[in-house]
Amino acid sequence: MTETPETATIKKISQETPSIRSFRLDFPMQAKPGQFAMLWLPGIDEKPFTLTAEGKECAVTVQEKGKFTKALFKLKEGDKIGIRGPYGNGFSTSRVKKACIVAGGCGAAPILLLAEELQKQGIKTAIINGARTEKECLFAERLRKTTHDLYITTDDGSLEEQGFVTAPLQRLLEKEKFDCVFGCGPEAMLKKVFELCEKYKVPCQLNLERYMRCATGICGSCVLGKWLVCKDGPVFNSKQLRETEEFGSKALLKCGKDVPIKEFAEWRQQ
Partner 1 sequence: MPLETVFAGIKLRNPTVLASGILGTNAEILIRTAKEGGAGAVTMKSIGPCEKDGYANPTILEWEHGLINAVGLPSPGYKNTEEELKQLEKSGIPLIASVYAHSIEEYAEIAGFAEKFKPAMIELNMSCPHSKGEGMPFGLDEETAGQVVKAVKKVSGKTPVMPKLTPQALNIASIASACERAGADAICAINTLGPGMLINPEVRKPVLANKFGGISGPAIKPVALRCVYQIYEAVKLPILGMGGISNGRDAIEFIQAGATTVGVGSAVYYRGIGVFKEVCDEMVQWMKKNNAKSLEEIRGVAHGH
Ligand X SMILES: Cc1cc2nc3c(=O)[nH]c(=O)nc-3n(C[C@H](O)[C@H](O)[C@H](O)COP(=O)(O)O)c2cc1C
- Give the interface with ligand X as residue ranges (CB under 6 A): 218-219
Minimum Å gap between C-beta 57 and partner 1 is: 18
Decide whether 42 or 157 has the Cβ nearer to partner 1: 42
Give the shortest CB-216-to-ligand X separation in angstroms: 10
Query: Which of ligand X, partner 1, none sits in contact with 82, Cβ below 5 to 8 A by type?
Result: partner 1
Site for partner 1 in 34-53 (CB under 8 A): 38, 40, 42-47
Site for partner 1 in 65-94 (CB under 8 A): 80, 82
Contact 58, 113 (CB under 8 A): no
Which CB, 84 or 192, lies closer to partner 1? 84
Between strands 58-63 and 80-87, the pairing is unpaired
2 sits near partner 1 (criterion: CB under 8 A): yes
- Surface-to-core class of residue 209, CB atoms within 10 Å of its CB (0-12 exposed, 13-18 middle, 19+ buried): buried
Stretch that binds partner 1, among 23-31, 163-171, 172-180, 247-255 (CB under 8 A): 247-255
Q: What is the maximum alpha-carbon separation in the chain?
A: 53
Of 170-189, binders to partner 1 (CB under 8 A) are none
In sequence order, what DSSP letters do the residues of 184-248 get, joined into one string? ES-HHHHHHHHHHHHHTT--EEEE-----SSSSSSS-TTEETTEETTTT-SEEEHHHHHT-TTTT
Query: Is the CB of 44 or the CB of 218 nearer to ligand X?
Result: 218
Q: Cα separation of 50 and 15, whole Å?
A: 17
Collapsed DSSP state (helix, strand, coil) of residue 267: helix
- Cα–Cα dist 137/180, whole Å: 24
Q: Which amino acid is at 53?
A: A
Give CA–CA dist 23/10, Å, rounded.
Answer: 6
**Residue (13 or 214) nearer to ligand X, CB:** 214
DSSP state of 77: T
Query: Applying CB under 8 A, which of residues 4, 94, 269, 270 lies at the interface with partner 1?
Result: 4
Exactly one of 19, 149, 217, 268 binds partner 1 (CB under 8 A); which one? Answer: 217
70 binds, among partner 1, ligand X, none (CB under 5 to 8 A by kind): none
Site for partner 1, rule CB under 8 A:
2-7, 38, 40, 42-47, 80, 82, 213-214, 216-221, 223, 225-228, 246, 252-258
